């Protein structure tokens, strides 16, 4: 078994004998291999020709849209000013390689030896057994890991650069070391090399076909398929019965058909992020959050945001408040007669809801009874790796890109950003599977949804990035909407805050800071898993866990400043957090009444759920 690393990440190991696996690397059919290499050459020529042609017709793009040059120039300057640190780092790398060469020599002599370095927990790249059993591949793996760890540790320890620059340097250094991993190259990936030899190169022919298809679908930009196209919205995903009861330029409001004879009097209104489509909450029936909520006796309304085109480029964050949240609140009242539903905001939908609650407090508007936030940030001072994409230079580049695209940010741009946060899982694993192994991706509803991207209006998106990520004005009380300065300390409605332990988009440390912004009773919980699975975790699956701390639940006593103090007194519960929220939400929802059906109120139905907006593609 692999043992834990010490602090340096260096220890002994045994890579095994390669003789037992040697016959697996024999070329099956030399003649067929030669024919396939001719096909690969022809396809590669077509690929290069198409690429060059598209570049001559492409719009003008910023030279360095991610502003990578500036932080690395600062790093070089800091390294030049501190040469001893660089010398010490190089000496440490030399010592580590000497240890690796010594260990490898012992293995070659037939002596058992433990690995010098092992992958970090959760690293799936080296699961093929030849990474452990074949001496050559074991040496390649350990050489890479030593170099990658050394490179990241070295740039992280260089003094003389500010915190923001250090974050960007660390992030892009990791992107670089992930890209040069031996798993990403044919001759140094044992699975790919075996497949190439055993199939006489047929995998590479199929892989190039897949690559050309993805480039064609992305109109010259690489659009990696993460899931087989096996899903149809409204047919095998997003199938919970319901109706569209309201529509404007920004959203369709869906009301779902009850599955119980009685429902709670106060309805539930959910605002998902407009960065993605609402049906993450309604994938398969057994994992559908919407279906589960309906079954608990709630009258559920969900905003299905439009996929905006250039006609909506000037829509603002305030428009999303007025034509989104306020319009939906008015529609729910017309449909049910209830003026103050319980409201949910997910991700950026939750950030919008937070700002809206501040505006409503400033205007004495009491149309929200309680608010729940799923993976939603209000204080962005510790907002995680996404902050590396938000500085003035990058915002100017993004503005230029959006203007070139007619005033919208193309969905593929945002998808690439999110994929970079987990590059090994969401980029390189598919490069290997689709292009190097020549396989088709498996049907996976969550990844299909992840690839079903949406655009962003320029005015809304730049406001959000500047006000929240760059300047943190929402938390600081400096954001202005409708002429009102937003003061979240004036918000006193009951609040339920959900966060997830492994969320890389809305880190739980960031979400916890919200507990000190509002002044009403708050319940904060920490769920297992990440940004999606931490939220979409049906009780029937019996997966993960969640933590609560009853010391602060629903009390007006201030939460601690540090999340570690909350965690220290937290209690772990197995399974989904949904029943915990149901227990809290039911207390906010009033008595039971006869079930309402869409169309029973003052609004006529406009069509079946999931509606038309969700089916608008980004490209």
The token pair at 573 is 């519960």
Pairing type for strands 242-247 and 571-574 reads unpaired
Query: How far is it, in rounded angstroms, from Cα 138 to Cα 135?
Result: 5
- Annotated active-site residue in 331, 347, 495, 506: 347
Rg value, the chain, Cα: 27
Whether 468 sits among the annotated catalytic residues: the reply is: no
553 touches 526 (CB < 8 A) = no
Residue with tokens 């006000």: 467
Query: How far is it, in rounded angstroms, from Cα 236 to Cα 429?
Result: 26
271 touches 324 (CB < 8 A) = yes
Rounded to the nearest 10 degrees, the angle between the axes of helix 202-217 and helix 190-198 is 110
Beta bridge partners of 408: 457
Please choose, from the candidates 99, 133, 120, the residue with its C-alpha nearest in 3D space to the C-alpha of residue 5: 120
Please choose, from the candidates 95, 218, 85, the residue with its C-alpha nearest in 3D space to the C-alpha of residue 160: 85
Question: CA separation (Å) from 363 to 246, 352, 368?
Answer: 25, 16, 13
Please choose, from the candidates 431, 416, 420, 385, the residue with its C-alpha nearest in 3D space to the C-alpha of residue 125: 431
The token pair at 224 is 């990696």
DSSP 3-state of 396: helix
The token pair at 357 is 């609650």
Query: How far is it, in rounded angstroms, from Cα 608 to Cα 245?
Result: 9
Q: Where are the alpha helices (DSSP H) in 109-201?
A: 130-133, 135-157, 163-179, 190-198
58's CB contacts (< 8 A; 6+ apart) are 220
Question: CA separation (Å) from 581 to 526, 546, 584, 585?
Answer: 12, 11, 5, 6
Which sequence positions are flagged as catalytic? Answer: 347
């Amino acid at each position: 078994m692999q043992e834990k690393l010490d602090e340096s990440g260096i220890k002994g190991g045994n890579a095994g004998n390669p003789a037992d696996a040697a016959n697996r690397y024999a070329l099956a059919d030399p003649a067929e291999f030669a024919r396939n290499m001719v096909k690969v050459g022809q396809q590669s020529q077509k690929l290069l020709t198409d690429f060059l042609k598209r570049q001559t017709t492409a719009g003008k793009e910023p030279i360095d849209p991610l502003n990578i040059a500036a932080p690395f120039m600062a790093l070089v300057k800091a390294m030049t000013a501190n040469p001893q640190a660089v010398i010490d780092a190089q000496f440490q790398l030399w010592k580590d390689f000497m240890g690796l060469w010594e260990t490898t020599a012992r293995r070659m002599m037939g002596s058992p030896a433990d690995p010098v370095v092992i992958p970090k927990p959760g690293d799936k790249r080296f699961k093929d057994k030849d990474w452990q059993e074949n001496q050559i591949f074991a040496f390649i793996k350990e050489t890479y890991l030593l170099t990658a760890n050394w490179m990241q540790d070295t740039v992280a320890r260089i003094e003389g650069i500010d915190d923001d620059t250090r974050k960007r340097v660390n992030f892009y250094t990791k992107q670089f070391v992930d890209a040069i991993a031996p798993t990403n190259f044919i001759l140094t990936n044992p699975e790919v090399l075996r497949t190439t030899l055993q199939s006489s190169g047929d995998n590479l022919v199929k892989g190039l076909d897949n690559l050309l298809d993805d480039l064609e679908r992305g109109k010259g930009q690489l659009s990696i398929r993460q899931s087989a196209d096996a899903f149809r919205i409204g047919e095998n995903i997003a199938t919970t019965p319901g109706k569209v009861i309201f529509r404007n330029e920004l959203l369709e409001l869906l009301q779902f058909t009850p599955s119980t004879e009685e429902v709670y009097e106060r309805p539930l209104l959910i605002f998902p992020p407009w960065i993605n489509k609402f049906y993450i909450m309604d994938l398969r029936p057994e994992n559908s959050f919407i279906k589960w909520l309906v079954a608990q006796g709630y009258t559920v309304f969900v905003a299905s945001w439009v996929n905006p085109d250039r006609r909506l480029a000037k829509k603002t964050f305030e428009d999303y408040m007025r034509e989104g949240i306020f319009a939906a609140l008015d529609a729910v009242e017309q449909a049910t007669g209830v003026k103050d539903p319980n409201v949910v905001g997910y991700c950026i939908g939750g950030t919008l809801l937070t700002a809206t609650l501040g505006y409503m407090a400033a205007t004495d508007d009491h149309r929200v009874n309680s608010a729940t936030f799923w993976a939603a940030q209000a204080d962005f001072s510790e907002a995680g790796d996404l902050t590396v994409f938000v500085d003035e230079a990058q915002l100017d580049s993004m503005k230029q890109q959006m203007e070139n695209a007619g005033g919208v940010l193309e969905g593929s741009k945002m998808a690439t950003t999110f994929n970079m946060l987990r590059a090994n899982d969401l980029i390189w694993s598919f490069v290997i599977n689709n292009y190097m192994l020549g396989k088709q991706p498996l049907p996976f509803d969550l990844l299909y949804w992840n690839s079903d991207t949406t655009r962003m209006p320029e005015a809304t998106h730049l406001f959000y990035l500047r006000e929240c990520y760059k300047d943190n004005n929402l938390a600081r009380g400096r954001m202005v909407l409708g002429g009102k300065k937003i003061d979240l300390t004036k918000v006193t409605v009951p609040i339920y805050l959900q966060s997830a332990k492994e969320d890389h988009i809305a880190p739980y440390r960031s979400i916890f800071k919200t507990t000190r912004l509002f002044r009403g009773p708050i319940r904060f919980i920490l769920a297992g898993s990440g940004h999606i699975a931490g939220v979409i975790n049906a009780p029937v699956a019996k997966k993960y866990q969640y933590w609560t701390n009853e010391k602060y639940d629903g009390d007006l006593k201030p939460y601690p400043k540090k999340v570690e103090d909350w965690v220290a007194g937290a209690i772990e519960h197995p399974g989904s957090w949904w029943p915990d929220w149901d227990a809290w939400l039911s207390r906010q929802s009033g008595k039971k009444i006869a079930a309402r059906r869409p169309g029973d109120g003052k609004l006529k139905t406009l069509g079946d759920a999931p509606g038309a907006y969700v089916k608008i593609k980004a490209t």
